[in-house]
Amino acid sequence: MSRFADWLSLRRKNRKRVERRRFVLPEVNWARLGSVLVGCAAVAGLALSLTFALNRPVRTVEMAGAFQRVQPADVERVVRDRLAGGFVTADLDALQSAIEELPWVDRARVQRRWPDGLQVQVTEQVAAARWGASGLLNTRGELFVRHARHAPPELPQLAGPDGTEAQVAALYFQVYPRLVEAGLRVTSLRLDARGAWELELSNGVTVRLGRKQLESRMERFIAVGAPVVAARANDIAYVDMRYSNGFSVGWRTAAAASAAAPTVQPTVQRDLDQDA
């Protein structure tokens, strides 16, 4: 009996411990909770009332920006066609995206103007180069107009396979200021379908860079070839940089070739690939 009494006493103690561990829900102050819910509902109702009261139709659209290529009437037409909702509920981000789809628009910003108007700030694209037959690139190398009616003729002419606009523009922006320092100006840069590069200078000299070692060849031309071209541009037709340790010069006339200094015609090793 003693063992049974001890076992029963231990079981009762364990049961009490389990009962003590039971989770008890906290008491809810229903009066306070009701007050909070009523307050939230009142605030939401007030917000809806204010939105309804202020959401008057948009009556005026103010334009801002230097409009040279973009017509304000075209911007107004987009706002009129794409505007949904009133002064408060109008989706300004959607309007901004629609305006930025217009030709020559780089960025647009749409803001509300109390009590019933919108202000549209337009930043136009800046054409940095022509692309192909009639395209235009901006300063980021992006093709923003594929078929321009009037491409500024003073812009450099860049060309290459579809999808290489940014690559060609990046090289042009990289070498242009360095060649200006050397007294030369790039008017054309081309990348052909085989991957060969060729640039043309404002003095009519063509520089053949080929497909390989583009960076080192350009550095060699700037360091060694550019001074030669700057000194004898009228006599030079092209400079061929497709060599391992130098370059060759194509003279316009035989007289110019015979009068060339020996240092202008160095002994060089042509790369094995004829289309290098």
Condensed to tens digits (0 to 9), the pLDDT of residues 69-114 reads: 999 999 999 999 999 888 888 999 999 999 999 999 999 999 999 8
Q: Determine which helix (DSSP H) or strand (DSSP E) holds 93, and give its type and residue range.
A: helix 92-100
Q: What is the residue-averaged pLDDT of the chain?
A: 83
CATH fold group of domain 60-124: Ubiquitin-like (UB roll) (3.10.20)
127-264 belongs to which homologous superfamily? Cell division protein FtsQ/DivIB (3.40.50.11690)
What is the per-residue burial (b if ≥16 Cβ within 10 Å, else e) of 71-105? eeeebeebbeebbeeebeebeeeebbebbeebbbb
- Confidence check: pLDDT of 146 > 50: yes
Residue ranges covered by each domain of the chain: 60-124, 127-264
- Confidence check: pLDDT of 53 > 70: no
Q: Rounded to the nearest 10 degrees, how much is the dihedral formed by the CA atoms of 5, 9, 10, 14?
A: 150
The model's pTM is: 0.72
Average pLDDT for residues 159-165, to the nearest whole number?
Answer: 96
